[in-house]
Structure 1
Amino acid sequence: MGSLGSPAEFVLSSEQVQLIKDSFKAKLQADVPYHAMTLFINLFEIVPEAKALISFTRDYTGPMRENEGLQAHATTVLKKVVNIATNLDNEKQVEMFSKSLAELGGKHIGYGVKLKHAAKLRDAFVLTMAQGMGDTWSGDVQAAWIAAYDVIEQMFVVGLVGLAAPK
């Protein structure tokens, strides 16, 4: 069994984290539930079978934005991603997040989530950030968010594929 590696390997620069904080506050913070739903709607467009992996979307036939169960879940997911992304310049926080995300990845095995789904969620996430930030989605902002997402995904995948989380 492998492991993720040292948390220090996953610390972002303070400049990257500041770009994430500033861009989130400027464009997304005012309506997190909307952007969270956009993330999952984008995911379902990219990976239609992902709908079947979530209990409250599996048999839902109405407009997805009106699905209260998905709204709550999506909002929680986006808030957690942002919380983690805005703390990736703190090695102690990174260590804590690496353990909790690995555990979360392990839980998602039971939901039928596969490695390919995690990779496609990245595409949906980047698309959602670009849509939400509009003309402020610069190369530097994009690079910071992608770096943060990639760290989060790596930590999550440790549990998803059954690797040992860093100690």
Structure 2
Amino acid sequence: MKTNQILLVKESFSLVAKIPAETVGSLFYNRLFEIAPEVKAMFRNADISEQSRKLLSMLSYVIGRLDKLDTILEDVARLSQRHVKYGVQEYQYEKVGEALLWTLEQGLGKNWTEDTKEAWVACYTLLSGAMKEMSQEVPA
């Protein structure tokens, strides 16, 4: 990621972080279940409010360290391993990215610019790519 993209992601996420986690999570999960209904089964026993807080917490953690990615690689690896155990398939990362971008667009409104979108696409592509790569190392 370019330095200006990291700044755009951090700045835009600071705006999203002001929205209640349950609101952001509700937008995200409703959209995800709409475009990838097969993943809903993975959340059948989950409290979506709690899951929403976890999602925003993880995003905050990762985005806060985008300029020091090497400091979070172990955490990304652990997250990837958990996703494999939940049954996440590689193709589903695309749907999650689509739902995330849609959610950010809804939450940011007029602050969702083409540059912001490109920065988030670069961010998600980088992180999901690392997770997919690391998931290959998890024994089946």
Q: TM exceeds 0.5?
A: yes
| Structure 1 position 27, deviation (Å) | 4.3
| Structure 1 position 99, deviation (Å) | 2.1
Q: 2:97 and 2:43 mapped to 1: Cα distance? A: 17
What is the TM-score of this pair, normalised by structure 2?
0.86
SS of equivalent residue, structure 2 residue 67: coil
| Structure 1 position 109, deviation (Å) | 1.6
Structure 1 unmatched runs, 5+: 1-11, 58-68
Once the two structures are superposed, the pairs formed by residues 70-81 of structure 1 within 5 Å of their partners are 70-81=48-59
Q: Are positions 1:89 and 2:67 aligned together?
A: yes
Q: 1:42 aligns with which of 27, 31, 36?
A: 31
Q: 2:96 aligns with which of 107, 114, 121?
A: 121
| Structure 1 position 113, deviation (Å) | 0.9
SS of equivalent residue, structure 2 residue 118: helix
* Greater Rg by CA: 1
Tell me the residue number matched to 2:3: 14
Q: How many residues align?
A: 138
Q: 2:15 aligns with which of 26, 31, 44?
A: 26
Tell me the residue number matched to 2:82: 107
Structure 2 unmatched runs, 5+: none
SS of equivalent residue, structure 2 residue 91: helix
8 Å contact from structure 1 (residues 56, 70) kept in 2: no
Q: 2:105 aligns with which of 111, 122, 130?
A: 130
Q: What's the RMSD between the two structures over aligned residues?
A: 1.9
With 77-86 and 142-151 compared, the bigger mean Cα shift is at 77-86
